Structure 1
Amino acid sequence: MLSCKALRTHTPVLLLLMMLSVTSGAQDFTPFVSEKLSSYRSKFPPEKVYLHMDKPYYATGDTLWFKAYLVEGAIHSADSASTVLYVDLIHQKTGKNVGIRRVPLNGGLGHGSFTLADSIPKGAYTIRAYTNWMRNFSEEYMFHRAFYLFDNVENSSVNPSNNTEITFFPESGQLVEGLNTRIAFKAIDETGRGVQVKGFVFNQDNDTVSAFKSEHLGMGRFPFTPKPGEKYHVLVKTEGADYKNVPFPVVQESGFILIVDNISSPSKMRVVVYNKDQHVSEKSVHIVGHSRGIIAFAGKGKLTAKGLMMAIPTVDLPDGITHLTLFDDQNKPVAERLVFIDHNRSLKVKVTPSKTAYRPREKTTVEIMVTDSVGKPVEANLSVSVTDAGQIAQQPNDMSIVSYLLLSSDLKGLVEQPSYYFDPANTERKIHLDYLMMTQGWRRFRWQDVMADSIAAPKHFIEQGFTLAGEVKRGNRKIADKTMLSVFLTNDSLKTFMTAETDESGIFRLDNLAFDDSLNVRLQGMNKKNTESLTFNLFPFQAPKALPVQVPFYPVTVESELLSASLKRAEEYQEIERKIRLSREKLLQAVTIKGKREVERDSRKLYSHADASIKITPQLAGGAMSVLDILGGRVAGVRVTGSGMNASVSIRNGGEPLFVMDGMPVDKDMILNLSVFDVESIDVLKGGSAAIYGGRGGNGVISVLTKRGNANYDYSQEIVPGVFTSSLAGFDRPREFYAPKYDTKRQNDARPDYRSTVYWAPQLKTGKDGIARFEYYNTDPATTIDIRTEVLSPAGEPGFARSVYVVQ
């Protein structure tokens, strides 16, 4: 046995470097693999996002509230560079994205909501969250959470059958003739949930060579040594079903076996390596361990016919998954094993209501204390959901920020009841967690990608705002040279002018545009020559495609009676809301408003009222070549003779009137050269009305007001050859959670209050004392109230806690 001592490194994440043998080979390979991992992480820095939702399932008409936590993917610090988060609402049956939210992130934190209107179908949904940077990777990297939307009637489209799928997982990946190993297995039903099974392994002579039985959520493990030349088959039985044959792993003639014991000792793991090779009896191997892409240990050992045994200290390894890889003497990965390191370093969170029992509608005060693993107060961000347990059944051992960041986010596939593995009350949780490590695959990267000589550049970039990007063509042809563009951006609170330049192929982009709601965009070429022939095409944001889910999620843990009560309450609440809205509409219809609305004065007009005014419409402009053509025959006392540049005008048979454009006197030629499509309106002042202009207005005044002269003119609506107008979607500002106060009597207090989400607070913080306090008022029913809080410190330490009290 070769034992090794860990060498502490002075880094924020307590990296550990272990040298099994101080040889030149080890010294060569260790920096090589470390540099490869470091290079991969520098080009593809990982991000993770977690959403805390107020409830596990919803009814039609509900509001889904969420808090977003975006962290750096390796050490989980809340300082990831992205500031834009996309949250999708996906109908599982069709794969249709029925809603998207663009959430602004501040320090990795944001929040928002979806209104689950009756216009969207009931059924199973997935809420998906991701940044633009996360789109460079598989969709598995994104956050996914399933929930069910009921339409106020207890129903389900999921009817699981007795079909069971069982899969066997030899430790480290393969079975090798004559080498002792262990085989883990997992049995799931059609919904992907674990089912209890038992079975037997038979050789080709139908002799029983091993028996097994699942221990936890369809998982278990048994020892196995395949004999040379023998083939095996398996019979498996689930409760209420007959035995059936299932596939068994193929036995290899040669290969490597990696066995890990991470249970027996709290301070070290024991690793045993075996190899069967007909040509070589002794070879050098490397073992590399990394924690979420950061090297944890690496070293070299001599593998003989008797195998190789080593002890690896775990005290300084970070909590979470450590990924072990065995490399052969050609530096190729030949075996892998996941282990979970649990030093219980997560934040300690305590939720304490001021009383254990309250009355309906009584004010409730709650204190949350957050400390680190040694009891010191921690300043942290947290979100709190308070629900009526009489209506909402929290799912057993459901996902939390702790279980997601440390476990589920780094594993392929569904992790059922993930919080089970973090509850010290579950005495068998560590061995069950080891079963999980053997039956779930590592999802974050492949060694083939890390070890590649070159890494392709990312297609998507880190966003700190939205991107305006598109292509410019001349007609339908590519442009020949770079082209300067003018960009005019407007919305209710923003008016700004920018410039952009295309590349040689006509592509342009403006990054980091941060705005709410939407933004009007006006694009135009800045070169005077042939700008009218330019055409524009914007590249719209395309959410990642979501495929329909064959086996939709259904909250089978909800008792029928409780679910029916919840849906009944939801329907009653929605009906009350509908009646209130209808009542408001009737009241509005009966209101009679008297008086004149004050009209904001147009600063371009010296006069208060014109004797005649013509509002220019597209129909009027389309039939005229000049402003005077529009006046002719439409205003009493105004006479227009001639046409085009030779037209003349008089008011009441007087001389030529004074021409004014946007409040400034101009000559007639400027008015004649003005495009009728640029004119907003024409005012005519006669006699005494024109006196405000003094002697110059003795023959009357023709005042032309242009569209561009209006301070409120929207350039995005202008249709001009060579000019493109469109709009961009911006941040969705979150709604505020409605929390009624019953400290004084109000008119609305007469209506019943049976909200299932009693209180939602997404932006709480603890102070230097580690304490946060909040208050709210209970609802009407006598029930049990469930308080759940998710916590994250700036250093990336997660925490979770819950508490209950009664209303009676």
Structure 2
Amino acid sequence: MKRLSIFLLTLIACCTTHSLMAQQVEKAQEILSEYVAKRPQEKLHLQTDRNFYGVGETIWYKIYSVIGLENKLSVLSNIGYVELVSPTGKIVNQKINGLYSGVAVGNIELVDSLVEGSYRLRAYTNWMRNDDPDYFFEKVINIGNVRSDNIETKSTVIQENGVDYYLVQLNNINGAAMPKTSINYEFIDGEKTVDKGRESIDPNGQLKIKVTDKNRGKLLLLSFLNPEKRRVKKTINTKAYFSENSIQVFPEGGYILGDELNRIAFKTLNPQGKGIKAKIILLTGSKDTAAQVETNILGMASVPCYISNAESYTVHVKFDDNTEKTINLPAITKSGYSISVNQSSASKLFAQVNLSEDKVNNEELYIAIQHLGNVFYLAKQKATSKNVLFSLTKDKLPTGVFTISILNSNFTPLVERVVFNFNPDRNLPLKLNLDKDSYGKRSKVTTQVEVGNTNDSVRIASLSASVLNLTKYGKDAKDEVSILSSLYLNGDLKGYLENPAYYFNEDGSIKDFELDNLLLTHGWRKIDWKQLDSLNNPVKYEAEKGLRIVGQAKKLGRKAPVPNAQMQLISTKNFMDYIDTTANAEGEFVFDNLIFPDSVKFLVSAKDEKGKKNIDISVERFENPPLNMAKNEPNMLNDVNAAFREQLLAGKLFYSQLENRGLMDKVTEIEEIVVRAERPKVPENSSNLNGPGRADQILTADDLSTCTTLEMCLNGRLLGVMFQGGKAMNTRGMVEMQIVLDGMYVESDMLSTINPVDVASVEVLRNINHTSIYGSYGANGLIIITSKTGRDASRSNFQPRGLLAITPKGISLMKEYFKPAYEVDSKNQFDQDLRTTIHWEPGIVTKQDGTTSFDFYTSDEIGTYRMIVEGVDIEGRLVRKVLDFEVK
């Protein structure tokens, strides 16, 4: 009887434990499902017409915005940001694009003042800012300058008498040495200047700067006048000159478990941070070979090897340039877990959890195949032996990056490993058929497009196509960021991905082993399992359905907010067009879901609950996300003008023709000028809504020093203004003008009471360009008076009570891509056609049957042309197709 009681109690305890564990699993799954619903992953890809440009040209791009692993076009965000970032990390251009059903098209004009070099093209949505900026879209674009620059550089480090020097050779674009001149140089580290000076180049066009501890490996900036007396700037990254080959070691799952078979990955890099081939030997303490492997052209490899707790290990590497290095193997874990993944089977994925002896305790182990909390497979086994094996079929998984998470009974991760699954059904079939086998100069090319399979119910896809002249573009046209690498890899992996196109075959399939080595040597986007219970906390950056204007209303001259302030956003184009909203208890207000073009002015007005305007209004400025300058640093080139000389000169000739014919705007931007005359100075605290000094006429304190009253000073000195009865009248209709004194609207007859000694400036606004911002107050013109000692003069950024003029960034307008047509009587022709981008077609949309077509004309140059088509269908299937054809 006693034994039976013990058995029943044990059975009840086991059932209770099993029930509690089942509830725990169910609760964990509920939390993960909620996480996925509240934190969808948004990713962007930009296809550009090409990857290098000259100043004066235009970058043409198309944005694809998708959601999660399924890659379906996103309707989460309607606003996308595209930024062009200079070699020094400065954002030189930002475009705001309206995303409609997940796509947008745009362009960036490259002004003449851009410094030659490697630029970053970055794209993101506001929602994506809730994650690490490393997961934004980013690609490197090389921009040369042979228009306002015309100087080539070739840089290196030399040694003379045991001293290192930076040596920069400066030639003109034809290869002749630059005449002797003085050059200002500056070394920067981040935003800090660490060294600067001035040196002269020698008769051979060479500049030498001594290497010091301060400037070693820092970014070098040069500034000088070229022979045409135009200011030229150069940037040179000197970091690679002082680096050496290196090796990194990555145990599978992050841990090396002693007395167990481990897979260890290696990454070998040259001084520029790119992969270099190498032979690697893992040696025991007694110099016996435990394993050996050779890396691929991108410097990656992995090898299985047995690691003993009783041994110490070193890694010896011999690089392809015959240099060698030896490092210690990372620490060995004697108590813990490791993981081994086998993907060699086409149909199944095997994951083995390895345990140290003390972890073989019969506890439950769970395996979750998940992507940012979206669980595709969940199973459990008991820790009854040192090796616990899990398996699952692959056909249930989409294409993309997954995380294998091994969790204990408390759903705490023990070890994780990222893997890539390829599902051929997720590739979008695409056929491109040209109407001829080959073409002549200025020939029309018609391309028939067909996507999908005949058994697809719907075959609608959004595509974009670029056609390049490979003679000018270069042989590396395939080795670039693609829609496959952006949405399958870059959106989930952390760090620099060299040559992302390497991992995808032309038919869209993958190089399995190389791709797995890539995942073993990179970090990835993770979820924090411990923070899943904080889902009720709001995200910092909301998905934008339109543009937003956010600000705060505060009591005049104070920090205290104005609760429940009545706010209005008024268009200066039509003052009857306005939007109302109410601030919250902290005076914070939002005007959202707005759509307006760039460079539009608005007025923001505010009243408190009693209708008074004693309010200061502030509007938040857009804060650009931080930039990781190290992410794509290996792709950043020095001496771009020299590297792309022939292409840049051909482009300069072609685009000069476009400008001369009025087919392209000149985009020269004057960066530095010598000021010969100054506009009369107006105090910064001027209440002029157009900005201090932006007026039709200005009088300063010096102009008013000889009068007894202000009315006497102004009478007869203001153009288009007459005084009648002490009031200022606009001669256009003889109507009374509005007087604004330190931001206050006052009557005209007050002029006679103002002591001119107290006046800092008088600004007259009569032109509609200056008066329109004032609405009805500006109908008859205004006279803006700023006092030297006005009560509001202490505020550096003075604004009138309850009114603020703003010019927020709006949706960028896109210009049309010029498409020549060599038909009889066609006006769209060139005298000499030397295009690099032969055609750009961003708006390809297939019909229900999956077909469409587009056409273009070849140029005056023979050779191989390359068509690159990318896109996504409504089911989220991705495609990239490259087609070469000949022009004879």
Q: Does 1:411 pair with 2:493?
A: yes
CA distance 1:239–1:527, shift in 2 (3 Å): closer
Shift of 1:579: 4.9
* TM-aligned CA deviation for residue 168 of structure 1: 1.7
Structure 1 unpaired stretches of 5+:
1-21, 586-614, 650-657, 663-670, 682-705
Report the counterpart of residue 338 of structure 2 in structure 1: 257
Contact 1:471-1:537 within 8 A present in 2 as well: yes
* Contact 1:707-1:713 within 8 A present in 2 as well: no
Partner of 2:859: 779
Equivalent residue number for residue 708 of structure 1 = 776
Match of 2:431, SS?
strand
Percent identity of paired positions between Structure 1 and Structure 2: 25
Q: Cα–Cα, structure 1 residues 716 and 140, in superposed 2: closer, same or farther, change >3 Å?
A: farther
**Counterpart residue type for residue 325 of structure 2:** K
Query: What corresponds to 1:701 in structure 2?
Result: none
State which of 65, 69, 73 in structure 1 corresponds to 2:64.
Answer: 69
Contact 2:130 2:541 in 1 (8 A): yes
The one-letter code of the counterpart of 2:347 is S
1:234 maps to what in 2?
315
Q: Distance in 1 between matches of 2:639 and 2:716?
A: 77
Q: 1:490 to 1:625 in 2, by over 3 A?
A: farther
Correspondence 1:191-340 to 2 at 5 A: 191-215=272-296, 217-263=298-344, 265-278=345-358, 280-340=360-420
| 1:117 alignment counterpart | 111
Query: For residues 521 and 267 of structure 1, do their structure 2 counterparts lie closer, same or farther at Cα, with a shift above 3 Å needed?
Result: same
1:261-300 Cα shifts (integer Å, max 9, x gaps): 111x221112222201437543321101113541101111
Q: Aligned in 2, Cα 1:433/1:524: closer, same or farther, shift over 3 Å? A: closer
Partners in 2 of 1:503 and 1:470 — Cα distance? 11
Distance 1:714 1:223, change over 3 A: farther
Tell me, in whole angstroms, the C-alpha distance in 2 between the residues paired with 1:559 and 1:520. Answer: 39
1:188 aligns with 2:269: yes
Q: Which residue of 2 aligns with 1:797?
A: 877
1:83: how far off?
0.7
* Aligned residue among 429, 435, 444 for 2:517: 435
Report the alpha carbon displacement of residue 148 of structure 1 after superposing the two structures with TM: 1.4
Q: Distance in 2 between matches of 1:742 and 1:392?
A: 23
CA RMSD between the two structures? 4.2
Q: 1:716 to 1:151 in 2, by over 3 A?
A: farther
- Counterpart of 1:692 in structure 2 is none
| Residues 124-133 or 626-635, more deviating | 626-635
Q: Which has the larger radius of gyration?
A: 1
Cα-to-partner distance string for 1:151-201 (whole Å, 9 max, x where unaligned): 247767568567222222222221111111211222222333221111211
CA positional deviation for 1:246: 2.3
Structure 1 residues 425 and 538, CA gap change in structure 2 (3 angstroms): closer
Whether the aligned pair in 1 keeps the contact of 2:496 and 2:632 (CA below 8 Å) is: no
Q: What's the offset of the Cα at 1:369?
A: 1.2
Aligned to 2:89: 95
The answer on whether the counterparts of 2:83 and 2:94 sit within 8 Å (CA) in structure 1 is: yes
Shift of 1:501: 2.3
Cα shift at 1:731: 0.5
Amino acid in structure 2 at the alignment position of 1:395: A
The answer (yes or no) to whether the contact 2:562–2:585 under 8 Å persists in 1 is yes
Give SS of 1:728's match. coil
Alignment map for 1:388-403 (pairs within 5 Å): 388-393=469-474, 394-403=476-485
1:633-648 aligned at under 5 Å gives the runs: none
> 2:403 touches 2:419 (CA, 8 Å); kept in 1?
yes
Greater Cα offset, 512-521 or 80-89 = 512-521
Conserved 8 A contact 2:133-2:626:
no
Summarize the alignment of residues 30-45 of structure 1 with structure 2, pairs less than 5 Å apart. 30-45=25-40
The answer on whether the counterparts of 1:348 and 1:372 sit within 8 Å (CA) in structure 2 is yes
Scaled by the length of structure 2, the TM-score of the pair is: 0.72
Indicate which of 559, 565, 572 corresponds to 1:478: 559
Mapped partners of 2:255, 2:89: distance in 1: 36
Partners in 2 of 1:543 and 1:758 — Cα distance?
A: 34
**What CA deviation, in whole Å up to 9, does each residue of 1:542-590 have, x standing for no partner?**
21132544973548899999944322211222443455569999xxxxx
- Superimposed CA distance per residue, residues 755-790 of structure 1 (whole angstroms, 9 cap, x where no aligned partner): 111111111100012112011111111121111111
Instruction: Supply the AA of the counterpart residue of 1:401.
Output: I
Check if 1:449 corresponds to 2:531. yes
For 1:603, the equivalent position in structure 2 comes to none
* Greater length-normalized contact order (CA 8 Å, ≥ 6 residues apart): 1
Task: Confirm or deny that 1:571 pairs with 2:639.
Answer: no
TM-score (norm 1): 0.78
Give the CA deviation at 1:726: 2.0
Q: Does 1:467 align with 2:535?
A: no
What residue is the counterpart of 2:98 in the other structure? Answer: 104
Aligned equivalents of 2:764, 2:609: Cα separation in 1 = 23
1:99 CA drift (Å): 0.6
* 2:523 match: secondary structure: coil
Asked if the contact 2:133–2:627 (Cα under 8 Å) also holds between the matched residues in 1, the reply is no
Residue identity in the other structure for 1:442: W
Structure 1 residue 448 displacement after superposition:
3.6
The 5 Å alignment of 1:420-569 reads: 420-423=502-505, 429-450=511-532, 452-453=533-534, 456-479=537-560, 481-492=562-573, 496-527=577-608, 531=612, 533-549=614-630, 552-554=633-635, 563-569=644-650
- Decide whether the 8 Å contact of 2:570 with 2:604 is kept in 1: no
Deviations 1:94-148 (A, max 9, x none): 1111110001111111011111222111111111111111112211121111121
Structure 1 residue 746: Cα displacement: 5.7
Could you report, residue by residue, the CA deviation over 1:643-688 in whole angstroms, capped at 9, with x for unpaired residues?
79xx9x9xxxxxxxx99989xxxxxxxx98898999988xxxxxxx
Give the superposition deviation at 1:45.
2.1
Q: Does 1:735 align with 2:803?
A: no
User: In structure 2, the residue corresponding to 1:110 is in which secondary structure?
Assistant: strand
| Uncovered stretches (5+) of structure 2, i.e. residues with no partner | 1-16, 155-235, 667-694, 738-745, 752-761, 767-773, 786-797
Structure-2 change in CA distance of 1:628 and 1:269 (3 Å):
same
| 8 A contact 2:21–2:409 mirrored in 1 | no
- In 1, the alpha carbon distance for the partners of 2:353 and 2:270 equals 34
Matching residue's letter, 1:795: E
Match of residue 430, structure 2, among 345, 349, 366: 349
Question: Deviation of residue 402 (structure 1)?
Answer: 2.1
Distance (whole Å) between structure 1 residues aligned to residue 862 and residue 43 of structure 2: 40
Q: Distance in 2 between matches of 1:580 and 1:220?
A: 55
739 and 444 in structure 1: CA distance in 2 versus 1, 3 angstrom threshold: farther
1:41 Cα deviation (Å)?
2.4
* Equivalent of residue 144 in structure 1, options 135, 138, 146: 138
- Give the aligned partner of residue 805 of structure 2: 725
Deviation at 1:57, TM superposition (A): 1.7
Q: How far does residue 533 in structure 1 lie from its aligned partner after superposition?
A: 3.4
2:172 — aligned with what? none
Distance verdict in 2 for CA 1:443–1:616, change over 3 Å: closer
Q: Contact 1:74–1:293 at 8 Å: present in 2 too? A: no
